[in-house]
Structure 1
Amino acid sequence: MMKKKFLKYSALVTGLFLLLFTSCNDLDLAPTNKFTEDNYWTSPEKANMVLSMAYSQMLNSGNFFSNEALSDNIYEGRGSSSEKAISSGQADASNGRFSGEWQSCFGGIKTCHTFLENVDRIPDMDETLKMRMTAEARFIRAFLFFRLTTWFGDVPLFETDLTLSESKEIARTPQADVLAFIRSELDAIVTMLPTKDEYADDDKGRITSGAAIALKARTYLYSNDWDNVIANCEKLINSTSYGEYELFPSYEGIFLPENEYNDEVILDLGYVPSLRTWGEYYDYAPLSVGARVNALAPTQELVDDYIMLNGRTIDAENSGYTETDPYKNRDPRLSGTVVYHEFEWKKPDGSTQTIYIKPGTAPDESAAVDEYKGQGTNSTATGYYMRKYYDPQSLASFSSGLNLILIRYADVLLMYAEAKNELNQMNESVWNSTIRPLRERAGFTDTNALAYNSEWSNSDLRNIIRRERRSELALEGLRIFDIRRWRTAEDVLNGYPHGAQYGDPAIDNGYIRLDERKFNGERDYLWAIPQSQKDINPNLGQNTGY
């Protein structure tokens, strides 16, 4: 397992960064006993520390997973978080997630600007290295602006660091202009970035030309600009000019630490065991394998969307699905993603442990526990636990150095298939280069699950591709953005989500009824501009409905 050498800087740079950028006012002479803007920029290594700081600000593990709780894939069973307020329709402009998203993105943008405005100070720096690092910083800045405009729509756009007075007066830029800037930046830097194979081993995981193309495709996907989705995806599918990508042979293996930096990964968040880690699985894994409590759990609605091995949905005629044995003959990706009753949990030593979730089924109460104890307890609220991204090599309290993938080649294939279908260009050839290999990799063998059916309508294919996208990418933080761009959030995020069939038989056929969710289609497709920011800068205005 190769770990990024440059990432080790990010754990050390925070204190230095605070000294560097808050130590002096303009009238002070540069002190010689600490770093300042005047004496810091003396070597590429120091520049790399600031760039590593920007890498660490692209996204954090908490938001990576909590984005799923904003969707219909995951239910938050404990506490009263900002995400729970959003999903229940109670969020206003003072919501902590709104302000946190805003501040973290603009904090990262400031780091990028600090790097870009000072890297030329370094004496005798190799020009090729400087060009590459500059491109990395510009990519991160574009990535952060994309995060902002995806959530908030119109946001302030600026290409240099703002003064305090400017930050109190700047207005928001129309979303179309923000997206145009992001795409122009990605175009400008793509030839400045190496492919993944051109990096030395110590630099594995750095931003690549392939990542620039893939992110640009995603910006068009979120705009439903199908022609440009196709054009950018084809650069990765039909050419190796931006790196050679392919599906990793094992679906489960994509997310294991021994397979990091495999040929499916295009962009990820890098972590280093014992140095830069994340620990959310302490509150996601089954209690019987050492977890603390359960905070987030998969919904029945997610589980129900996994098709049968014969390619049929569970409610289709002759699907073979039965409520008494609901996990039999299902899409193998279900067991790579979700822990269900009698799931065989793979332990670090290679052995397995059966997870008993259905109440009253644990064979030996002294050695095992029923994982579902009802709502309001420490156990799962839905009768399911998360499996994807469990790290068998994690340290105490599930502290993990496993990288979290932001873009992988499977997503490129799914973007391409969706765009082709939306333009009425889906055919057997496109199917066989996109959906079929994904299903073959997952473990499907039945011809009905693998073969293209010429009798499918455009609408049929749309449903198939959207379901495929959900099953393939579940728990990877993307579902909320899909249902927003499809404008289906108001359908799937209103009403009661459900858990497994362990509830009152008189209510929803026994499927656990969870807290009601609310999504206002006239308001909630954009987030509120944080009140804390409006108090500082009234020129920011507000999105409709807040």
Structure 2
Amino acid sequence: MKKLVLSILVAGTLFSCRKLDQPITREFTETAYWRDSQDALDALTACYEHLSKDDYYFGDEALSDNAYNSGGGLINVNAIANGGYDGANGRVSDTWSYYYTTIRRCNTVTTNIDRVPNMDATLKARILAETRFIRAYAYFQLTAWYGDVPFYTDLITIDASRTIARTDKNTIQEFILTELADIQKDLPTNAQQSQNDRGRITRGAAIAMSARVHLFRSEWAAVVADCEKLIGKTENGTYALFGNYSNLFTVANEYNSEVILDLQYGGGRTYDKQRSFMPQTIAALRSVLVPTQDLVNDYIMTNGKAIGEAGSGYNENTPYVNRDPRFEATILHHGSKVIDFAGAEQTILTQPGSVPATNTVDDQGASPTGYYFYKYYDRAATNYASGLNLIMIRYADVLLMYAEAKNELGQMNAAVWNQTIQPIRVRAGFNDAGATQFNAALNQDQQRVVIRRERRSELAFEGLRVYDIRRWKTADVVMNRPVRGIKVTSGAFNKDPNGYIIVENRLFTNPKHYLWPVPTVERDQNKNLSQNQDW
């Protein structure tokens, strides 16, 4: 296990690579480093390589009510989701050490860049801005999961690493927001980037990330102010919804008009997580990261009504007919058709008794819920190793943050709706006025339900739901429900009174589980680290 001394002290020798999607290939010693601007750029690339990872991107979905992960894969997130974990949990320990390594790499850049002789001032400012963004992102992740954490912006000593205490999370988040505001002047817009700089942090990313932090803190006026710097304006970047929702998540359309920040893959850096979420007949492995029935139920009908709402037209016998078009673009269900890696069309059968049974809930290696994720399926992958970038922030999220903040301020109206929810739904494929037009009859609470449901449907399988249910303080409700799968009429399944498969019971205790425990191994090494409530 990694100790705090290792987590926040050992730099891991600085490595470099010329492109963000290439693995580290070269190593430098202190005496041979910081010779020129390329060394500084290479050190920055080492920071980018530790921005985040696919285990978190996909695993975070299973920390919410959107998905279920069976077994101990994805760094044992299932134990967190069902409440059966402590400070020794693999994901709890990994996240702490991972982001302190990120911070160490960033602090190495900010501390040493002045050693580069005769460096171009504009380039230096940009490198520092990108580095400070990555460090701010790492600290946001740490405060989101653990609350108060050790905070420093220098190269901490061994002795300090063994005695450093935790800093109040609000102090750290205020630092994050100050950093994100200060670096904007030194970052280019996406329109100013060259093709070789694609994937690097832009001014728009700093603004959108600031909005996300304010959103997490329920600072609604600040969310509005940030979003208004990007919506309908070009001085901070030129962004627009991409024309086709399904095609947004493909290699062919990387770096499209909607992407504000993505995690870089391709070249020598790939991931194979689709083997965990696609049907066995396609990915040739057990399907262990799967959608829940509760996620499926939140997709509205094409007329804009929720499935339980009067006049929706929902029929339990044909549950996937006339649903939100994003449902088919995100989730495979009984009867879905998909092109496999060989180019053949497969019909996915999930109901018990179907022939063949390979993808049905009868098979131990198939999805236990009867659903499979489809978004981020990359047919261009070789040997299942995908180089498809993972989108961390996109323009649709900015529109949704803006809509939520305006509603919380009591300012939701037709004009805001037409700027935000309406274009998102039209892009998705809705054309019924009931789905696309503003409903002035809804009060603030009812609009909140609509906006939150819209956010869930639009951003499903993008790792954001877990942050939403925690900031809304609804996790202790939605994560205390059983994980449910499809409705079945035969087979020896554990079912609820309505016939839906119960896959697992979950537990989320308020306030205990709203923060993870400080990892056991870290507290063993540093007795000054306090622990979170009830842990």
Pairs within 5 Å for 1:341-380: 341-347=334-340, 352-362=345-355, 365=356, 369-374=357-362, 377-380=364-367
Matched to 2:515, the amino acid is: L
1:181, CA displacement in angstroms? 0.5
Aligned to 1:267, the other structure's residue is in SS state strand
The match for 2:487 among 480, 501, 508 is 501
Find 2:55's aligned residue among 58, 62, 78: 62
Identity of aligned residues (%): 45
The answer to whether 1:50 aligns with 2:36 is no
Match of 1:389 among 367, 376, 386: 376
Q: Deviations over 1:316-366 (max 9, x none)?
A: 11211111111000000001111111111134576532212222333xx4x
Describe the superposition over 1:258-284 as per-residue Cα deviations: whole angstroms up to 9, x where unpaired: 1101110001100114x1001111121
- State the shift of 1:125 in Å: 2.3
1:76-128: per-residue Cα shift (whole Å, max 9, x none)? 12347531211121211222211111100000000011111222222222221
Q: What pairs up with 1:470-481 in 2 under 5 angstroms?
A: 470-481=456-467
Q: Retained in 1: the 8 A contact 2:495–2:501?
A: no
- Measure, in 2, the Cα distance between the counterparts of 1:245 and 1:528: 39
Q: Which sections of structure 1, spanning at least 5 residues, go unmatched? A: 17-34
| Bigger mean CA deviation after superposition, 408-417 or 340-349 | 340-349
Report how far residue 49 of structure 1 moved.
Answer: 2.0
Q: Counterpart in 2 of 1:131?
A: 125
Change (3 A) 1:8 1:315: closer
Write out aligned runs for 1:452-471 (5 A). 452-471=438-457
CA contact (8 A) 1:6 1:48 kept: no
Counterpart in the other structure of 1:487: 473
Answer yes or no: is 1:276 the counterpart of 2:264. no
Tell me how many residue pairs correspond in the alignment: 515
**Superposed displacement of residue 466, structure 1:** 0.3
CA contact (8 A) 1:7 1:272 kept: no
2: CA distance, partners of 1:222 / 1:290? 36
User: Which residue number in structure 1 is paired with residue 66 of structure 2?
Assistant: 73
d(CA) in 2 for partners of 1:401 and 1:59?
Answer: 15
- Contact 1:44 1:125 survives alignment (8 Å): yes
Deviations 1:298-320 (A, max 9, x none): 00000000000011111111211
Partner Cα separation in structure 1 for residue 31 and residue 24 of structure 2: 23
Counterpart-to-counterpart distance in 2, 1:506 and 1:118: 60
- How much does 1:11 deviate? 3.2
Aligned 8 A contact 1:194 1:208 in 2: yes
**Quick one: structure 1 residues 372 and 9, their matched pair in 2 at CA, closer, same or farther if it must change by over 3 Å?**
closer
Relative to the length of structure 2, the TM-score reads 0.93
Report the counterpart of residue 91 of structure 1 in structure 2: 85
C-alpha displacement at 1:394, in angstroms?
0.7
Distance (whole Å) between structure 2 residues aligned to residue 36 and residue 144 of structure 1 = 25
1:55-454, aligned counterparts within 5 Å?
Answer: 55-79=48-72, 82-273=76-267, 275-347=268-340, 352-362=345-355, 365=356, 369-374=357-362, 377-396=364-383, 398-454=384-440
What per-residue deviation string (whole Å, max 9, x for no partner) do you get for residues 43-64 of structure 1?
Answer: 3222222211111111110111
| Structure 1 range deviating more: 66-75 or 339-348 | 339-348
Q: Which residue does the alignment assign to 1:25?
A: none
Q: CA deviation at 1:508?
A: 3.0
Q: Structure 2 counterpart of 1:95, which letter?
A: N
RMSD between aligned alpha carbons? 1.6
- Which residue type is aligned with residue 458 of structure 1? Q
Cα distance in 2, alignment partners of residues 328 and 206 from structure 1: 41
Q: Indicate conservation of the 8 Å contact 1:77/1:295, yes or no.
A: yes
For 2:59 and 2:156, the matched residues in 1 are separated by 30
Select 2:518's aligned residue among 524, 529, 534. Answer: 529
In 2, distance between residues paired with 1:437 and 1:360? 42
Tell me the secondary structure at the aligned position of residue 513 of structure 2.
coil
Q: Kindly provide the amino acid, as one letter, of the partner of residue 102 in structure 1.
A: W
Judge conservation of contact 1:339–1:387 (CA < 8 Å) in 2.
yes
Partner of 2:533: 544
Deviation, 1:506, is 6.3
CA apart distance, 1:415: 0.4
- Tell me the amino acid that sits aligned with residue 360 of structure 2: Y
Task: Indicate the SS of the match to 1:514.
Answer: strand
Deviation at 1:238, TM superposition (A): 3.7
CA-to-aligned-CA distance 1:193-232 (integer Å, 9 cap, x gap):
0011111111111000000000000000000110000000
Change (3 A) 1:178 1:319: same
Deviation at 1:496, TM superposition (A): 1.0
Cα pair 1:283 1:294 within 8 Å, conserved: yes
Aligned residues of 1:285 and 1:386 also touching (Cα < 8 A)? yes
CA distance in 2 between partners of 1:499 and 1:315 (Å): 18
Q: For the residues of structure 2 that align with 1:64 and 1:261, how far apart are their CA atoms? A: 18
- Shift of residue 38 of structure 1? 1.7
- Cα offset for 1:5? 5.9
List gaps (5 residues or longer) in structure 2: 1-16
**Counterpart code for 1:260:** E
1:516 pairs, out of 502, 505, 519, with 505
* CA offsets 1:119-178 (integer angstroms, 9 cap, x no match): 222222222111111111111000000000111111111111100101111111111110
Report the more deviating stretch, 419-428 or 288-297.
Answer: 288-297
Distance 1:445 1:50 in 2: 49
Q: Bigger CA drift: 504-513 or 151-160?
A: 504-513
